[in-house]
Chain A
Amino acid sequence: EPEVTQTPSHQVTQMGQEVILHCVPISNHLYFYWYRQILGQKVEFLVSFYNNEISEKSEIFDDQFSVERPDGSNFTLKIRSTKLEDSAMYFCASSQGVAEAFFGQGTRLTVV
């Protein structure tokens, strides 16, 4: 069964450093998403991406965040200058549009 793949599974970074989280969505999907889950809290929407542009974003997704689909198969989330409060599990998801979203296993980001 096709699946969404995220790498790395765990990333530790120093506060103020840039970090890039990688995702390979399911190949025939058209919509791509990033969500995050701070430990013990609910899953929160960050951004959706369709047709090579951001289609929707939350207030969490400020200027420190950016997304890119660099080569037609990967979908990345960049955090420019990480803060302690960025520590969370980050989930990538993809969907065909009129269908459910499939989630990856997540990348646990720890900012120290």
Chain B
Amino acid sequence: AQSVTQPDIHITVSEGASLELRCNYSYGATPYLFWYVQSPGQGLQLLLKYFSGDTLVQGIKGFEAEFKRSQSSFNLRKPSVHWSDAAEYFCAVGKAGNMLTFGGGTRLMVKP
């Protein structure tokens, strides 16, 4: 069975600081991996995805993520956080056309 673990429930960073959100997955085959962001009261917006190929993927809003098969990880990074990045971030694994399994989410707070 597939599963996703986001070890950090809450993270607080200062505006302008770098950010790394951790995601570990368990999946029986080559996974499709996703990061979604949810602002308060909003839906889920796709930040980026990994299907195959280059293990470093670029997304919207200046985010990137790196797929490391040996570590079963797909960590999300941003070099300089903006106050508007405060939200909840969800890592997900699955096969396109099939169900996604989400992690528990990491709530990001940004200090001025």
**Is B97 an interface position by the 8 A CB rule?**
yes
Given A42-B105, A43-B44, A45-B101, residue A103 in contact with residue B96 (CB < 8 A): no
> Using Cβ atoms and an 8 Å threshold, which residues of chain B touch A91?
43-44
| Residue of A98, A99, A101 touching B100 (CB-CB under 8 A) | A101
CA distance A102 to B46 in the complex (A): 7
CA distance A30 to B43 in the complex (A): 21
**Is A25 an interface position by the 8 A CB rule?**
no
B46 near A98 with CB under 8 A, answer: no
**Is A95 an interface position by the 8 A CB rule?**
yes
A-side interface size class: 20 to 34
Given A91-B43, A105-B43, A106-B43, residue A98 in contact with residue B96 (CB < 8 A): yes
**Is A33 an interface position by the 8 A CB rule?**
yes
**Is B34 an interface position by the 8 A CB rule?**
yes
CA distance A56 to B46 in the complex (A): 22
Q: Which of B42, B46, B96 has the most CB of A within 10 A?
A: B96
> Using Cβ atoms and an 8 Å threshold, which residues of chain B touch A102?
46
Shortest distance in angstroms between B25's beta carbon and chain A's nearest beta carbon?
14
Q: Chain A: interface secondary structure? A: strand
CA distance A14 to B104 in the complex (A): 29
| Residue of A42, A44, A99, A105 touching B96 (CB-CB under 8 A) | A99
B46 near A100 with CB under 8 A, answer: yes
A31 near B104 with CB under 8 A, answer: no
B97 near A42 with CB under 8 A, answer: no
> Using Cβ atoms and an 8 Å threshold, which residues of chain B touch A106?
42-43
CA distance A56 to B2 in the complex (A): 15
CA distance A102 to B100 in the complex (A): 12
Q: When each residue 80-112 of chain A gets 1 if its CB lies under 8 Å from chain B and 0 otherwise, what string results? A: 000000000001010101111111111000000
Q: Which 8 A-B pairs have the closest CB atoms?
A: A105-B43, A103-B44, A45-B99, A43-B102, A97-B97, A42-B104, A98-B96, A103-B43
B residues sitting closer than 8 Å to A (CB atoms) are: 34, 36, 42-46, 49, 90, 92, 96-105
